[in-house]
Amino acid sequence: MAQLIGCIGTSHIPAIGGAIHKGLQQDPYWKPFFGGFPPIREWLGRVKPDVVVMFYNDHGLNFFLDKMPTFAVGAAPQYNNADEGWGIPTLPPFKGELDLSWQIINTLVEKEFDIVTCQEMLVDHACTLPLKLLWPEGDCPVTVVPICINTVQFPLPKASRVYAMGRAVGEAIAAWDSDKKVAVIGSGGLSHQLDGERAGHINKEFDLQFMESLQSNPEWATQFSIHELVEKTGTQGVELLMWLAMRAALTTGPASGVRKVHSNYHIPISNTATGLLALEKIV
């Protein structure tokens, strides 16, 4: 059976793509952000996952406001990157993991999640930048199963529903008849708001409590309604739902404990409080 090795939660911001392109990793503005990644890369170099299941939100590239699935799972042999409008250079295509895609899709539908399946899917910065940050050199060494969660257009799925979906994805991975190693990524958050009267809103206290909860009490954030999460973290801060799905995927199996590999938190990059957290699953 496949082995679920751990998870990585990270913020995504289009400007990171520009900074990578311009080689600004050591620049004083960017260093506190990029500096969080080497210990996690070192861990990944040791545990060597073959596949990544990527929870992220599409930002109007593959889905626009006229057709917005709550949950969508990629089932494509390859995912092409495109720019949803920020002008950041695109990355080469990412390889899919079709067998795991269908394993997840079949499991989710069996467990009564009415998902959209995408046999073609363009991926935006939220899917591609975490992969580039974790494997900056050369071709991306992992295959990918992208899973989109709508945090763009209301109504958004409740935190408890996202948690249940993430857990079902974890069960699907654990039951996958493969000798491959799988890591789960949650791409989004933490607190930020890009528009409206509260543009620039950041909530460090909540972010740090949320990151801590993922180690000690992963269901903690499910107590909040979507409106409470938006109030606390901002209209885009609600992207932290990706981290919740990611962590829920690790709660399956006889041993559901985790060990912290590394974390980082830095305010701000662009408008966002950036978080980074890697947890290894204890088997």
Task: State the catalytic residues.
Answer: 125, 192
Q: H/E/C letters for each residue in 34-79? A: HCCCHHHHHHHHHHCCCEEEEEECCCCCCCCCCCCCCEEEECCCEE
Quick one: which segment of 65-73, 211-219, 223-231, 265-273 binds ligand DHB (CB under 6 A)? 265-273
Whichever of 113 and 243 has its CB closer to ligand DHB, that residue is: 243
Number of residues in contact with ligand DHB under rule CB under 6 A: 12
Query: Nearer Cβ to ligand DHB, position 33 or 43?
Result: 33
Per CB under 6 A, which region of 28-36, 88-96, 161-169, 268-276 contacts ligand DHB? 268-276
Alpha-carbon gap, residue 117 to 119, rounded angstroms: 7
By the rule CB under 6 A, 161 interacts with ligand DHB: no
Q: Is 192 in the site for ligand DHB (CB under 6 A)?
A: yes
Q: Does 59 bind ligand DHB (CB under 6 A)?
A: yes
81 binds ligand DHB (CB under 6 A): no
- 112-141 burial string, b = 16+ CB within 10 Å, else e? ebebebbeebbbbbbbbbbbbbbbeeeebb
151 counts as binding ligand DHB under rule CB under 6 A: no
**DSSP β-ladder status, 71-74 and 181-187:** unpaired
| Residue 64 in tokens | 């626009």
**Binding residues for ligand DHB restricted to 112-141, rule: CB under 6 A:** none
Residue 234 CA to residue 218 CA, distance in Å, equals 21
Q: Is the dihedral of CA 79, 271, 243, 231 positive or negative?
A: negative
**Both tokens of residue 162?**
């996202």
| Cα 128 from chain centroid (whole Å) | 10
Shortest spacing between CB 50 and ligand DHB, in angstroms: 28
Pick 43 or 210: Cβ nearer ligand DHB:
210
**Residue 271 structure tokens:** 């408008």
Q: Is 233 in the site for ligand DHB (CB under 6 A)?
A: no
Query: Taking CB under 6 A as the rule, does residue 12 contact ligand DHB?
Result: yes
Task: Check binding of 14 to ligand DHB (CB under 6 A).
Answer: yes
Query: Given the structure tokens 């699935």, which residue do they identify?
Result: 69
**Range in contact with ligand DHB (rule: CB under 6 A) among 8-16, 20-28, 62-70, 208-216:** 8-16
CB of 152 to ligand DHB, least distance (A): 9
**Spatial distance between the Cα atoms of 83 and 71, rounded to a whole number of angstroms:** 21
* Residue 163 CA, distance from chain mean position: 13
13 binds ligand DHB (CB under 6 A): yes
Please give the residue ranges that form the binding site for ligand DHB (CB under 6 A): 12-15, 59, 192, 194, 236, 239, 270-272
